[in-house]
Amino acid sequence: MASNDPPITPELIAEHGLTPDEYAHIVKLIGREPSFTELGIFSAMWNEHCSYKSSKIHLRTLPTKAPWVIQGPGENAGVIDIGDGLAVVFKMESHNHPSYIEPYQGAATGVGGILRDVFTMGARPIACLNALSFGDPGHPKTRHVVAGVVAGVGGYGNSFGVPTVGGEVRFHRRYDGNCLVNAMAVGIAEKDKIFYSAASGVGMPIVYLGSKTGRDGIHGASMASAEFGADAEEKRPTVQVGDPFSEKLLLEACLEIMAEGCVIAIQDMGAAGLTCSAVEMGAKGDLGVTLDLDKVPCRETGMSAYEMMLSESQERMLMVLKPEKEKLAESIFRKWGLDFAVIGETTPSKRFLIRHGSTVMADLPIKELGDEAPVYERPFAQSVKLPVIDAVSVKPPMSMADALEKLIGSPDLCAKRWVFEQYDHVILGNTVQRPGGDAAVVRINDGPKALALTADVTPRYCEADPFEGGKQAVAEAYRNLSAVGSQPLALTDNLNFGNPERREIMGQLVGCIQGIGAAARALDFPIVSGNVSLYNETNGRAILPTPTIGGVGVLDDFTKSMTLAFKAEGESILLVGATEGWLGQSLYLREVCGREEGAPPPVDLAAERRNAEFIRMLIRDGLATAVHDISDGGILVALAEMTMASRIGAVLESPAAIAAHAFWFGEDQARFVVTAKNAEAILDRAGTAGVAVARLGATGGSVLAIAGERPLVVSDLLARFEAWLPAYMAGAD
Amino acid sequence: MKSAVLHFPGINRERDMARALRHISGREPAMVWHADTELPAGTDLVVIPGGFSYGDYLRCGAIAARAPIMQAVRAFAQKGGLVLAVCNGFQIACEAGLLPGVLMRNAQLRFICRDVYLRVERSDTAFTRGYNAGQVIRVPVAHGEGNYIADGETIARLEGEGRVVFRYSSPDGMVDPNWNHNGALNAIAGIINERGNVLGMMPHPENHVEVAMGRTDGRGLFAGLVDHFQKAA
């Protein structure tokens, strides 16, 4: 065993993010002081990012099974069966800390990482989504972060050659020092050709593939497991640099050797690089792993074992190959100009043995590295319930027309064209519904089957009531998928929170997970993959709790997908779902009244299911001509979006029983706007289905006309909707 | 029509292009690897598709222009063979000397993906015979470096010889800076070489070829080429 240089001191242990108790456990586990390399390996395996030590016991409560789930959480990505012998492989993952420190590369490598997770399992990526949360537009760094993150997401995905078809963008001061970049990738594979990470067989060659190992990203996972202080900039060297060109080659080479039947097990080198991937392959296969670091392709000379084991250089894979196919696999990798090296083998010993030169640098029990990682049942405090805001107590400070104009020109509701036009969203020629609708629709191969994809969460609801907010995120994804006519199948969750060692933050995490679980159970919408990002805090202030939900639905025929644009003049506009006029935590209250207050809208899961099923039936039976989910901004914002997408106006009746501002801008859940040629047919069915449906008005003209209000010219609304983001990014404050 | 689609590492619209060719010509194109030195025998049309050849890590297209297969493509073009170069392909064709000029970064310095309108300037080329002169088509662009420029003399020649075949325009065919998303000189979206057998264009006709996907404005280009070879045969 290598002698220790530097010596293991309490300071060094703390620098590795390990507590004294965790270190004591390591010493007990291996019966001696760890070597420096071993300390690095433990810190990589036991940090929050890799071990889920604060969230694990709560994540176990989530529903992850359904007859159509092929693989739930625990692999590189989740896998579901969509019939016809095909499977969808998908996952969402955060790259928050790196993206704030170095926006372009942080976001780019976030996209690269999640794409690798998907094609590692044998799937060809067909779409990406991105959920981005930025600081207040007035914060001096926000514009720089937005520009870099968006360019980075585009820079990687565009070059790799996958369409980025959807997502969301929000601004709030609570993300000032800590933006969120949640990237989702979706791929298609043949159902019986999914590849997993568990190694099998003793004495099998372990092969390193892809790019060379450099000194970039060392301790990236540990960095992502700590709060930021004023020294965030100094952490730039921990951010990796992306190379989408190499990743594209890696994709093609991996799919080619998989098709040739060369692969027994495969694991991408993501967080904690070689360490995490090798341990996972061995531990899952009940095998030991021996690595000879002299064989690792390195970008620079003189790299130590410690550096090689902790490097997070991108675009690398570890595989166990069938020995008889090794030469074939090597020739395929060489053809694509990628590195290929046998760097070790599987052993019966269940030890993780690392050699460098003639020295053993680490000799650790492989199962315990993962299984014995600390699991914390951290104390938590439930969030205090906030009072329900009585709509009557909210005095409208302006007319409905003025409020609508203000809302659709606000940072959270304005058009995100400036963002999605930097993403190639048409490559592969399968994008049926482009960004801007309720969910993106992407055809599979030559169709007619297609996927609907969405990413959703309303962080202000989650902060006000974590349980209801968690439910709402799932329900909104379910609604969005239903609004385009797809059957929602499964979701991936990306849980972004602050420091779990604080009781109130832990309370948010626990509450949101419970809410997500409740909704997923009620809607038959299982969680098949996910990622947890904690310690999203800067100088002691946490982000808004942001459990992003990535939803996947399937359409049997993409030509039947529904859009939100009005289709013709003179059609009836209907409201599906019950309205009380819930103003607590609404964007109306925040943007128009300047108040961020109250309890968020409650989510009635039975109504969510019933109403969404009703909508899917209307679409299937050809009764609806346009459908739009009602969410941020309420009914009137949804209607404005439908007019702007079609340039067709609407004449709207005013509500009788509810105060106008609460009716038009309340954010009650489980609702949709629907248009129809024949309203009676829908009203008839609504009675049978027990769904509340009311008439809102009719389409037509070129203005949005609300009874008793100044008429709004659709083209003026559109100009306002499109104006804010480009002007902001151009530097006009 | 027997087509060959060049495949450089980092190219990523080769599948889109192959699908469009298959749909419209009814024939599967050959995929030709960058390290090859010969085109398949009997090739009618060479297509250089879009993407990020070699990562575009030098100048866009500069490395691909020097790939082994490009010798064969130059010889093919010299003999009058038809070459369709789209997006990164256009950049490669310029770098390879098949077409004059260069594609600079978009004027706004950002990648742009959106549908644009193109005015078809001529219908008497092998590539545009499927359209009418003056017709406006709608096709997507997806590029960061599509801002066409050349020296004054070259531009004067291109314009004088009618070698600008596609121009960015408004939906009603007016050339207008508001409808020129990348700032290209004279709103140039596509040009042909002197002999008229090499077309370079930034937009992606191959992404608008199916009714089911919404628009079919790109079909005319491929259908025209099929027609060209049928007439020739």
Q: Max Cα separation, chain B? A: 46
Q: Of A159, A445, A722, which to mutate for an interface test with B (greatest number of B Cβ within 10 Å)?
A: A159
Contact A199, A312 (CB under 8 A): no
Provide DSSP, A336-393. Answer: TT-EEEEEEEEETT-EEEEEETTEEEEEEEHHHHHHTS--------PPPPPPPPPGGG
User: B12, A336: Cβ pair inside 8 Å?
Assistant: no
Whole-angstrom distance, CA of residue B88 vs CA of residue B49:
7
Q: Using omega within 30 degrees of 0 as the cis cutoff, is the peptide bond preceding A6 cis? A: yes
CA Rg, chain B, in Å?
Answer: 16
> Any chain B CB within 8 A of the CB of A243?
yes
Tokens of A449: 């089957």
Q: Which residues of A are catalytic?
A: 49, 95
Question: Strand order of the sheet with strand A712-713?
Answer: A626-629, A672-676, A572-576, A693-699, A650-652, A703-706, A712-713
Nearest CB among A246, A427, A558 relative to B16 is that of: A427
Question: What pLDDT is stored for residue A219 in this prediction?
Answer: 67
Per DSSP, A109 falls in state H
Beta carbons of B9 and A429 less than 8 Å apart: no
B19, B54, B110: residue with CB nearest A429:
B19
Using a CB–CB cutoff of 8 Å, tell me whether B213 touches chain A: yes
B57 CB within 8 Å of a chain A CB = yes
- Flag if B12 and A248 touch (Cβ within 8 Å): yes
Residue A300: count of CB within 10 angstroms of its CB: 10
Q: What is the pLDDT of residue A372?
A: 86
Residue B9 to residue A426, Cβ atoms within 8 A: no
Across the interface, do A421 and B113 touch by the CB < 8 Å criterion? Answer: yes
Find the CB nearest B213 among A160, A243, A429: A429
3 state SS for A552-567: EEEECCHHHCCCCCCC
**Chain B from 5 to 44: CB within 8 A of any A CB:** 9-10, 12-13, 15-16, 19-20
**How many residues make up chain B in this entry?**
233
What was the pLDDT predicted at A225? 59
CA-based nearest residue to A98, from A234, A213, A239: A239
Contacts of B19 in chain A (CB under 8 A): 429
The reply to whether B173 touches chain A by the CB within 8 Å rule is no
Q: Chain B within 8 Å of A434 (Cβ-Cβ)?
A: no
Exposed / middle / buried, residue A349 (Cβ in 10 Å: 0-12, 13-18, 19+) = middle
Q: What is the pLDDT of residue B231?
A: 85
Test mutation, A427, A560, A563, chain B, max B CBs within 10 A: A427
In which residue ranges of chain A is pLDDT below 70? Answer: 1-4, 219-238, 732-733
H/E element, A283:
helix A273-284
Interface contact B16-A424, CB threshold 8 A: no
Write down the catalytic residue from B7, B181, B204, B228. B204
Closest by CA to A488, choosing from A114, A66, A61, is A66
DSSP A131-195: EEEE--TTSTTHHHHHHHHHHHHHHHHHHHT--EEEEEEEE-GGGTT--EEEEEEEEEEETT---
* Distance, CA of B93 to CA of B191 (rounded, Å): 11
Q: Which residues contact A592 (CB under 8 A, 6 or more apart)?
A: A396, A397, A398, A403, A406, A407, A665
Beta carbons within 8 Å of A87's beta carbon, 6+ residues apart: A70, A79, A80, A81, A123, A188, A189, A190, A191, A194
Q: Helix, strand, or coil here: A78?
A: strand
Given the residues B87, B143, B145, B228, select the one marked as catalytic: B87
Whole-angstrom distance, CA of residue A34 vs CA of residue B53 = 47
Task: Establish if B3 touches chain A: CB-CB under 8 angstroms.
Answer: no
Per DSSP, the residues of A574-615 read EEES------TT-HIIIIIT----SPPPP--HHHHHHHHHHH
Residues on chain B touching A336 (C-beta within 8 angstroms): 9
Residues 6+ apart with CB under 8 A from A663: A579, A581, A635, A654, A655
**Cα-based torsion angle of the residue sequence A252, A257, A258, A261 in order, rounded to the nearest 10 degrees:** 160
Q: Could you tell me the pTM of the whole model?
A: 0.96
Would an 8 Å CB–CB cutoff place A449 in contact with chain B?
no
Q: Is A425 on the interface with B (CB under 8 A)?
A: yes
Would an 8 Å CB–CB cutoff place A447 in contact with chain B?
yes
- SS3 of residue B13 by DSSP: coil
CB pairs under 8 A between A and B: 84
The verdict on whether B113 is a catalytic residue reads no
Q: Select from A92, A96, A104 the least CA-distant residue to A178.
A: A96
Cα gap A467→A383, rounded to integer Å: 9
C-alpha distances out from residue A720 to A405, A430, A496, A543, A727, Å = 7, 31, 32, 29, 11
Which pair of tokens denotes residue A549?
């939900």
Q: Which residue has the tokens 């679409």?
A: A619
pLDDT at A228: 63
The pairs formed by A683-692 with CB atoms below 8 angstroms and a separation of 24 or more are A683/A574, A685/A614, A685/A617, A685/A618, A685/A623, A686/A576, A686/A614, A689/A610, A689/A613, A689/A614, A689/A617, A690/A610, A691/A576, A691/A577, A691/A610, A691/A611, A691/A614, A692/A576, A692/A577, A692/A578
Task: Give how far B139 is from chain A: nearest CA, Å.
Answer: 11
Q: Is B208 a catalytic residue?
A: no
Query: Cα–Cα distance between A318 and A272 in angstroms, integer?
Result: 13
**Amino acid found at A686:** A
Residue of B nearest to A446 (CA): B19
Residue B111 is nearest to which of A154, A249, A429, comparing CB atoms?
A154
pLDDT confidence of residue A231: 62
Q: What is the pLDDT of residue A51?
A: 87
Mutating which of B111, B178, B181, B206 best tests the A interface, going by the most A Cβ atoms within 10 A? B111
A229-235 long-range CB contacts below 8 Å, 24 or more apart? Answer: A229/A538, A229/A539, A230/A539, A232/A100, A232/A101, A232/A177, A232/A538, A233/A101, A235/A97, A235/A101
φ and ψ at residue B3, rounded to 5 degrees: -110, 155
Q: What is the pLDDT of residue A222?
A: 59
Give contacts of B 105-134 with A, CB under 8 A: 110-114
Q: How far apart are CA A592 and CA A404, in angstroms?
A: 9
Taking an 8 Å cut-off on Cβ atoms, the answer to whether A158 and B142 are in contact is yes
Rounded to whole angstroms, the Cα distance separating A562 from A555 reads 10
Give the chain A residue nearest B57 (alpha carbons). A245
| Tokens 């907010």 found at | A469
Instruction: Please tell me the distance in Å from B96's CA to the nearest CA on chain A.
Output: 21
Q: Which residues pair with B30 in a beta bridge?
A: B4
Across chain B, which has 233 residues, the per-10-residue mean pLDDT values are 97 97 96 97 98 95 97 98 98 98 96 98 97 98 98 98 98 97 98 98 97 89 96 79
Looking at the DSSP assignment, which residues form a beta bridge with residue A628?
Answer: A673
- Choose the closest CB to B10 out of A248, A432, A447: A248
Decide if A635 contacts A669 (C-beta within 8 A).
no
Chain B contact for A249 (CB, 8 A cutoff): yes
Contact A427 B13 (CB under 8 A): yes
- Whether chain B has a CB inside 8 Å of the CB on A557: the answer is no
- Shortest CA gap B161–chain A (Å): 34
A448: cis peptide before it, omega within 30°? yes
Task: Name the residue among A159, A423, A429 with its Cβ closest to that of B52.
Answer: A159
- In angstroms, rounded to a whole number, what is the distance separating the alpha carbons of residues B50 and B205? 11
| Residue whose token pair is 């070790």 | A344
C-alpha dihedral, B194 to B197 to B201 to B205, nearest 10°: 150
CB of A426 within 8 Å of a chain B CB? The answer is yes
Task: Tell which residue, B117, B49, B15, B115, has the closest CA to residue A430.
Answer: B15
Q: Which pLDDT score, from 0 to 100, does residue A270 have?
A: 82
Spatial contact of B180 and B65, defined as CB atoms under 8 Å apart: no
